[in-house]
Each structure stands twice: as structure tokens, then as C-alpha cells.
Amino acid sequence: MLILYAAFHGVSRTLIRVSTPGKVTLFGEHAVVYGEPAIATAIDRRVRVEAERRGDDLIRIEAKDLTLAGFKALLSPNGSITLEGESKKVLAAISYVKRAVELIQEKYSVKRGAHIVITSEMPVGAGLGTSAAVAVSVVKAYSLLAGIELNKDECAELGYNVELSVQGIASRMDSTTVAVGGILYIDPKAEKTYEGIACRRGFEGLVVGYTNREASTGEMVERVKRFRDDVPEIVTPLINVIGEVARKARTYIEAGDFQRIGALMNINQGLLEAIGVSTSKLSQMVYAARCAGALGSKITGAGGGGCIIALAPGKEYEVMAALRAIGVSAFRASPTSDGIKVEEG
């Protein structure tokens, strides 16, 4: 039951539940950081954030089943974090929550204590946009606690700022896709930076394979940047071709031409290998999926471990079995048009 009361910024509630989908990048990760277009889709697995008002101005963060060991943390007003059950991933996840809360506090001059509980239906920090989903969910939930109504685009923009300040470098792709939902063509240089793509035949047959992460998104983005700075005459054209692949893929997705979409995924994978973001395990997963009948397969997200996607309409179970046979987790994923949602009741 929701208890309503009047607050300085309008009518605010004491308990807010928000959910936001994860996402997979179909084409264009890394290149999008340099202004090339990319295609991403929200998927039917969600991050859930519950924010409840506290009587004081402390922020308490609790993560229950982020597919990492449960942890608790207390953020004091001076910005310091007290952790119970510390690990690198836990700290990374908390940084997104902390920054999201700080941004709302700074932008709207609010200071309000909250107990924030996060759960996730997918592995966190695996390249499925969970950091963006956590960031936009906390932005939405904490702002609503303060009586501030932000629309999806505003949540996406603030979520992007959270990612930027935590990672040092980021694109708007993840935060936009998870906030807005659907299959999106992201073009950082266009006047309209994203557009929904309608697939004529319905986009089905996606399988996600997941292995442990060896490096964070920030580290992988930094690694590509160093490589590009070192040999720009080689790496810049590779990045440009990734952009060309995404442009072409848009027309094939609209037409529902899965054979050609798969072929372009394989080209994109080759280019991701070339810019150095694959690992032997990721490449093994990519080839296991193709050998089991996938039309195309590639890394999704930043690489350095994490996830691959395979496009395997009608062969999803064979591909999942092949991935499990090499010791990695696998699940089906379907595009969803549902972006960020406030759960009522």
C-alpha cells in the first residue's frame, strides 16, 4: 500500500518500486563511443529497485540477488561507504547507485534518506546493461521519492551521466535502450539520437551465453581508446567499418532478413576481435554457438569476458546446450518494448 504525502517538490510517496530491462547490443558496441551508430534491444529480464524513505538523511543500499553474493552497504552524508561483504563487483555496483542519488540531490537540491533495495533477473556487470538499468532505476525511484517526475528521456540522460562519472567514458546507448525499451538504432551524431526499429517478422531466436568477466566496461573502453591512440591509422578504420555494419544491419532487421543479420553479426565479431576485446573463452562460445546452428554470434557489450549473443531462430535449444557443454550459462532472450516502469501497488 502506498502512503501519500505532500512534499516540497510536489506530491511524493514513501515507497517506490521501479523496474528496468537489461539490454543486448546487436551491433556497434565500442564504435558507438566514437560517434558511430549502434543497434541495441531491451530484453525481457529486468533490474528491480525499491526505494523507501528513511527518517534520517542516510542512504542504505541493499542488493539481494544480483547473482553475486548478497551485500549491504551504508552511505554516510560525507560520502563514505561502509560495506558488509566487500568485493570489487559490489563496490562497482554501489558506485552507480551512489552517483545516481548524488546527481538527483545536486540537480534538484534535495537531501532525503532512503533505503534502496536492488534485485536483478540477470547477471550484473556482464555486458547486459545492468549498470545502466541500476542507474536509471535509482534515478527514477529516488527522484519520485522526492516528488520529482522525470520522463524516460530525462532518466536516460541522468543515467548516462552516472555511467560517465563512474566509468570515465561511456555512450548513451545503454541508458537510452533500457529507459526507452524496444529495438533502437542509436546514432550519436544525428539530430534524433535514437529511433525505434520495427522488425517486419518479429525479432526472435536470441540466445545469451555468459561467462565471468575479467575486466570492467570502463577498463575495456579504456583499452580500446589506448589502442586507437597508439595506432589510429589502423584502429579508426576498423571502428568506422563497425559503424557501416550497423547501418546496413538496420535495413536487414527492418526486413526481417535473419540470414543476413547473422552474417553481419559474424563480421562485427571479427572486428571486435581485431580491436582486442574478445577473450579465448568468448571466442570459444561464439564458435560453439555457430557450430550448433546459429546464423550469427558475437560478443555483446564491452567484452573482456561477459556475454555473447547468438541469433538462432528454431535452434535456440541446440545453441544453449552447446554453450552449457563448454561450461557457460545460457538463456533465451526476447526483445521487449517495455522500458523503465514504475510498478504500482
Interface residues with ligand MEV (CB under 6 A) are 25, 29-30, 32-33, 127, 170-171, 173-174, 217, 221, 301-302
Indicate the residue among 37 and 301 with the shorter CB distance to ligand MEV: 301
Least distance to ligand MEV, CB of residue 104, Å? 21
Which residue reads 502506498 in cell numbers?
2
Question: C-beta of 137: minimal distance to ligand MEV in Å?
Answer: 17
Nearer to ligand MEV, 17 or 45 (CB): 45
CB of 342 to ligand MEV, least distance (A): 25
Q: How many C-beta atoms lie closer than 10 Å to residue 292's C-beta?
A: 21
35/237 with CB nearer ligand MEV: 35
Q: What is the grid cell recorded at 158?
A: 541522468
- Least Cα distance to 223 among 290, 303, 294 occurs for 303
* DSSP type of residue 334: -
| CB of 25 or CB of 95, closer to ligand MEV | 25
Quote the crossing angle between the two packed helices 316-325 and 280-291, to the nearest 10°: 140
Closer to ligand MEV at the Cβ: 27 or 258?
A: 27
- Measured from the CB atom, the residue of 29 and 121 that comes closer to ligand MEV is 29
CB atoms under 10 Å from CB of 8, counted, come to 12
Q: How far is the CB of 114 from ligand MEV (least distance, A)?
A: 27
Closest approach, Cβ 309 to ligand MEV, in A, equals 12
3-state helix, strand, coil in the chain (%, to 5): 40, 25, 30
Q: Which is nearer to ligand MEV, 135 or 146 (CB)?
A: 135
Alpha-carbon gap, residue 16 to 3, rounded angstroms: 10
Minimum CB distance to ligand MEV, residue 109 (Å): 29
DSSP assignment of 179-236: HH-SEEEE-TTSSS-EEE---TT----EEEEEEEESS-HHHHHHHHHHHHHHSHHHHH
Task: Single out the catalytic residue among 56, 57, 174, 338.
Answer: 174
Query: Looking at beta carbons, which residue is closest to ligand MEV?
Result: 171
Torsion sign, CA atoms 9, 13, 15, 21: negative
Instruction: Measure the CA–CA gap between 231 and 207, rounded to whole angstroms.
Output: 35
Q: Which amino acid is at 149?
A: E
Provide the grid cell at 172.
548513451
The DSSP code sequence of 43-112 is EEEEEEEEEEE-SSS-EEEEES-SSS--EEEEE-TTS-EEEES--HHHHHHHHHHHHHHHHHHHHHT---
Q: Is 257 a catalytic residue?
A: no
Task: Indicate left, alpha or beta for 267 from its phi (over 0: left) and psi (-120 to 50: alpha).
Answer: alpha
Q: How far is the CB of 19 from ligand MEV (least distance, A)?
A: 19
Question: Where in the sequence numbering do the catalytic residues fall?
Answer: 174
